[in-house]
Structure 1
Amino acid sequence: MSPSLAKEADMSTSENTHPAEQHAHTTARQIGYARIGDIDTDLFAQVNRLQELGVSPDDIYLDQGRIGDGASYVGLQRALEAGRPGDVLVVASLARLAGSLADLEHLTPEIIDRELKLNVGGMVFDPANDVGRTLFDTFRLLCRCQEELAELAEGDQVERMRQAYGQALHRMRATRLN
C-alpha cells in the first residue's frame, strides 16, 4: 500500500470513530468493588476510598450480606464482566475483594483471563508483568497452604477423637469391672 493510501486509511478510521471511543480504548477504566457483611457498617468508607482511588460512582459495584465460602457475589461478577482487557479492578483492601482464601483462589484466574489489573488500596498489580504475576502466584500459594493446614488440622482432630474415644471406652470398661 502506498504511503498516501495508508494515510487515507488511517484518516478514514479516525473520522469514523468518535473521539470519546478512541479515548475509551486507550484509557484503562477504573472499576470499583465494595463488599460488606450484614453487620459491617463501612460501606460509605469503602465507596469513599474507591472514589479517592479514581473510580467513578457509576463504576462501583456492591455486594452486601453473606460472606465466605459459597457466598454468591453478584456485584463482583458484574464488576468483572464490565471490565475489558487493560481495565483496573479497584478494591479498598484485599479482604473486601474475597471473603476467604478459597474465594480468592477462584477469583485469581478470572482476573488474569480477563486481562484486568488489580488495584488494592492504591497499589496496582498487573498480572502481565513480573510483579503482578508474583502477587497472583502468592495468592495461589497461600490458598494451597491454607488447604494443607486444614487437612493437617483435620487429621490431628481425627487422631484426638480416636484417642478420646479409646480413653472413654477404657473408662467405661474400668467402671464395669468395679
Structure 2
Amino acid sequence: MKVGYARVSTKDQSLELQEDALKKAGAERIYSEKESGGKWDRVELQRTLEMLRPGDTLIVYKLDRLARSTKQLIGIADRLKTDDVELVSLTEQLDTRTAIGKAMFGMIGVMAELERDMIRERTSAGLEAARARGRKGGRPKANPAKVRKALALYDSKAYTVPQITEETGVSKALLYKELKKRKTTEA
C-alpha cells in the first residue's frame, strides 16, 4: 500500500499542494496535520508510522515535512527499514525502492553519524581543555560556612526561608537538601 504523509507548520497554511502531489504519486491513504516539525509527538505522524506494514511505501512531498532534524529523519528511516517499509520523497526525488535512492539515503545516515561524532569530539575536547586549566565540570560547591549559617538561622525559627536565602546566598533547594541530609544522619 502507498501511504502519504503531509504536514504544514501553522494552522493558516494549506495542505492542498502536498495532498494533490501525494495523490498524483499514487498514495491510497493520506495522513495530514498542521503541526510544527520540531515536535516529535505529532499525532498523525505516529498514526502513519503505526499503520504501515511490511512492503508498504511511505510517500512525502519533501523530507522536511517528515522530520525537522537529521536525527529525527534517521530515527524514522531506521524504523521504516526495520519495518520493511520503503520511503519516497517527491521533491528530492528520493526513492529507497531503487539502488540510487538507498545509497543516497545511506549517505544521509552517514552524514548524521558524522555530525553526532563531531559534536561528541568537540565536547570532549572542550572538557579536556577546561580540566587542563584547573576547571572541573558541574556546579561549584557551596561555601560550607554559608550553609552552616543558613542552617543556624533556620534552627533559630526567627527567619523565613526566603529571608535565609537572601541573607546567606544559599538556595532554597540546597537548604532543604542539607536539612534532609541532617535529618537522615540523626535518625
Give the structure-2-normalised TM-score: 0.57
Instruction: Name the aligned partner's letter for residue 52 of structure 1.
Output: K
Question: Which residue in 2 is equivalent to 1:133?
Answer: 102
- Give, in whole Å, the separation in 1 of the partners of 2:36 and 2:16: 18
Instruction: Name the aligned partner's letter for residue 116 of structure 1.
Output: V
Question: Which residue in 2 is equivalent to 1:113?
Answer: 82
Inter-CA distance 150–93: structure 2 relative to 1 (3 Å threshold): same
- Give, in whole Å, the separation in 1 of the partners of 2:118 and 2:8: 27
Shift of 1:95: 1.2
RCO (CA 8 Å, sep 6+): is it higher in 1 or 2?
1
Pick from 34, 55, 79 the counterpart of residue 6 of structure 2.
Answer: 34
Question: Which residue in 2 is equivalent to 1:8?
Answer: none
Q: What secondary structure is seen at the aligned counterpart in 2 of 1:63?
A: strand
Q: How do residues 149-160 of structure 1 correspond to structure 2 at under 5 angstroms?
A: 149-151=118-120
Q: What secondary structure is seen at the aligned counterpart in 1 of 2:37?
A: coil
The total of aligned residue pairs comes to 131
1:61 equivalenced with 2:28 (yes/no):
no
Q: How do residues 4-153 of structure 1 correspond to structure 2 at under 5 angstroms?
A: 29-38=1-10, 41-56=13-28, 59-68=29-38, 71-121=40-90, 123=93, 125-126=95-96, 130-151=99-120
Shift of 1:109: 1.0
Instruction: Name the aligned partner's letter for residue 76 of structure 1.
Output: L
Paired residues of 2:4 and 2:59 also in contact (CA < 8 A) = yes
Instruction: Name the aligned partner's letter for residue 47 of structure 1.
Output: E
Shift of 1:135: 2.8
- Give, in whole Å, the separation in 2 of the partners of 1:111 and 1:81: 10
Inter-CA distance 124–101: structure 2 relative to 1 (3 Å threshold): closer
List alignment gaps of at least 5 residues for structure 2: 130-187
Give the structure-1-normalised TM-score: 0.59
- CA deviation digits over 1:146-174, x for unaligned, max 9? 33454577689998xxxxxxxxxxxxxxx
- Give, in whole Å, the separation in 1 of the partners of 2:8 and 2:37: 8
Moved more, 102-111 or 34-43: 34-43
- Coordinate RMSD, CA, aligned: 3.1
Q: What secondary structure is seen at the aligned counterpart in 1 of 2:64?
A: helix
Inter-CA distance 64–126: structure 2 relative to 1 (3 Å threshold): same
- Give, in whole Å, the separation in 2 of the partners of 1:146 and 1:35: 26
- Give, in whole Å, the separation in 2 of the partners of 1:35 and 1:98: 10
- Give, in whole Å, the separation in 2 of the partners of 1:47 and 1:112: 24
- CA deviation digits over 1:123-157, x for unaligned, max 9? 46236x64343233212112123334545776899
